[in-house]
Structure 1
Amino acid sequence: MPYSKLAYVYDVLMEDAPYDEWQTFINDSITKYNPHAETVLDLGCGTGEMSIRLSQEGFRVTGVDNSEDMLSYAQDQANDQRANVEYLQQDIRHLEGFMDYDVITSLCDVINYITEVTDLQAVFTNVAKALSKDGVFIFDVHSPRYIDEEMVGGTFAEIYDDLSYLWLCEAGEEKGEVIHDLTFFIEDEDTGLYQRFDETHIQRTFPVWKYRWLLEQAGLQIKSIHADFSVEPTQHPEMGDRIFFVCMHQSNR
């Protein structure tokens, strides 16, 4: 296996993810707020599914992730599908060298991995600097209700031919925080034996008012808020499982 175990299992775990719905939501938001957009910066691009899809639609796409293994996997996927995506390794809390992007996305709850308020403020500030004059920033997060009621205390498991996993979710120390303890068993292609490895991930979410305040501090204005992939804005997004924010510079009111 030429990549880290996590890059491989991530793609397996996400194979049933609603990528079509993410794509529809992004396209609808671009059409509404920046219909002449040409460039996209995909923050936390992972194994490249969304960046490849956007490239195949004709956008010039740059994918950024902090994991070298994820980016290697994404690049091979892009090559296989003849998608022209530039992949760069950076921490989205410390972005450098990005300017004038028409669209910036951060999907699949990437922002939930930014667990400290100061780091979240840095991400939003970096986004504002990287956007073009009429640029649109689209991101999603788990809702506080979903983390508290659906994730914390949950146990998930799956068995495939060459992969099995056990996934435990526990409450973190901070409000809105969840700790994911994952144990994987992957079949070795040469020996046929299963190898175990463990991962711990921490996510945190905040109330909508907190995101709004942090975005405004960074010079970004929320244009619309949505729940669960609905293209129609909602007055009560925290009732959904996943909250989407569509933002622009405050000067573009």
Structure 2
Amino acid sequence: MLSYERFSYVYDRLMEDAPYDEWAKLVMNERKAGKVLDLGCGTGECSIRLAEAGYDVTAVDLSEHMLSVAQEKAIASKLPIQFIQQDMRELETGDLYDVVTIFCDSLNYVTDREGVQSVLNRAFTHLKPGGVLLFDVHSLYKMDHLFIGQTFADNQEDVSYIWHSFAGEESGAVEHELSFFLENEDGLYERFDEIHLQRTFEIDEYITWLSYSGFTALSITADFTEEEPFDSAERIFFKAFKPQKG
């Protein structure tokens, strides 16, 4: 289980350049209105954008601390988002949705094949007939060439971080070691550390798992474009539909 207790409070600072508008547009391009289930919602940036656009949003995350930050934002913006703390491998909301999303490589935090299949099964169960699942994952190219062996760092006025990425024990896995230096109320800097494990799989494996779950009419693209995945693509996007009844 990931520890986000303190990480959640600087997460938005680290992700301030993330393309949340682009993720939200993927939903808007598929459905002009309806009920959206946002899995792995983090601090709620996509959920909030969708709610502001008029969607009925339910947001799920494993971390109560991430959800706390997300809920504070929703309250401040007077948005009626329902937040649920759950493991998406065991998802059960008691409702059906027009769209299920797993954006911002959240599925890469499920690091075993059985777990990924469970997430896709639960997503299928929670979709209305004709509903659509949208998700993205890191490519194997990104894991092997842009993460493993790399160090990232940033130094801002009240928070700094150093981020090392190492090869995981299994193929397609990366271990991220992050050290944060956060200014406290006394003007002193406190250090805290996080270890995050991500794993991705071959595109063909995701296709097989989606088929096993019952999805049809699959579309696969790369890097927020309409292009099919290419060798140096960094992010792979999947769109899959639950068949209509009959």
Gaps of 5+ in 2: none
* RMSD (CA atoms): 1.6
Which amino acid letter does the alignment assign opposite residue 17 of structure 1?
A
Matched, 1:165 2:165: no
Deviation track 1:52-102 (CA, whole Å, cap 9, x = no partner) reads 100011110000001011111000001111221010100001111343200
Matched, 1:109 2:105: yes
Corresponding residue number in structure 1 for 2:25: 24
Corresponding residue number in structure 1 for 2:66: 70
Tell me the distance in 2 between the aligned counterparts of 1:159 and 1:212: 40
Question: What secondary structure sits across from 1:240 in the alignment?
Answer: coil
- The CA deviation at 1:211 is 0.2
Q: Is the 8 A contact 1:143 1:238 kept in 2?
A: no
Query: Superposition pairs for residues 155-194 of structure 1, below 5 Å?
Result: 155-189=151-185, 191-194=186-189
Corresponding residue number in structure 1 for 2:11: 10
Aligned-residue identity in percent: 47
Tell me the distance in 2 between the aligned counterparts of 1:25 and 1:76: 25
Q: Judging changes above 3 Å, is the alpha-carbon distance between structure 1 residues 118 and 22 closer, same or farther for their aligned structure 2 residues?
A: same
Tell me the distance in 2 between the aligned counterparts of 1:223 and 1:211: 11
Tell me the distance in 2 between the aligned counterparts of 1:4 and 1:136: 32
Which amino acid letter does the alignment assign opposite residue 70 of structure 1?
M
Matched, 1:147 2:140: no
4+ residue runs over 4 A deviation: 250-253
Question: What secondary structure sits across from 1:239 in the alignment?
Answer: coil
Tell me the distance in 1 between the aligned counterparts of 2:66 and 2:222: 28
- The CA deviation at 1:251 is 5.3
Tell me the distance in 2 between the aligned counterparts of 1:211 and 1:238: 17
- The CA deviation at 1:192 is 1.0
Q: Is the 8 A contact 2:174 2:199 kept in 1?
A: yes
Which amino acid letter does the alignment assign opposite residue 245 of structure 1?
F
Gaps of 5+ in 1: none
Q: Judging changes above 3 Å, is the alpha-carbon distance between structure 1 residues 165 and 18 closer, same or farther for their aligned structure 2 residues?
A: same
Which amino acid letter does the alignment assign opposite residue 6 of structure 1?
F
Tell me the distance in 2 between the aligned counterparts of 1:129 and 1:49: 25
Corresponding residue number in structure 2 for 1:207: 202
Aligned with 2:120 (options 121, 124, 130) = 124
Which amino acid letter does the alignment assign opposite residue 63 of structure 2?
S
Tell me the distance in 1 between the aligned counterparts of 2:133 and 2:230: 18
Tell me the distance in 2 between the aligned counterparts of 1:226 and 1:215: 15
Q: Judging changes above 3 Å, is the alpha-carbon distance between structure 1 residues 143 and 238 closer, same or farther for their aligned structure 2 residues?
A: farther
Tell me which moved more, 176-185 or 243-252.
243-252
Corresponding residue number in structure 2 for 1:243: 236
User: What TM-score do you get using the length of structure 1 for normalisation?
Assistant: 0.92
Tell me the distance in 1 between the aligned counterparts of 2:5 and 2:228: 42
- The CA deviation at 1:47 is 0.3
Tell me the distance in 2 between the aligned counterparts of 1:235 and 1:123: 24
Question: What secondary structure sits across from 1:197 in the alignment?
Answer: strand
Corresponding residue number in structure 2 for 1:79: 75
Q: Is the 8 A contact 1:167 1:181 kept in 2?
A: yes
Q: Judging changes above 3 Å, is the alpha-carbon distance between structure 1 residues 221 and 48 closer, same or farther for their aligned structure 2 residues?
A: same
Q: Is the 8 A contact 2:129 2:243 kept in 1?
A: no
Matched positions, count: 243
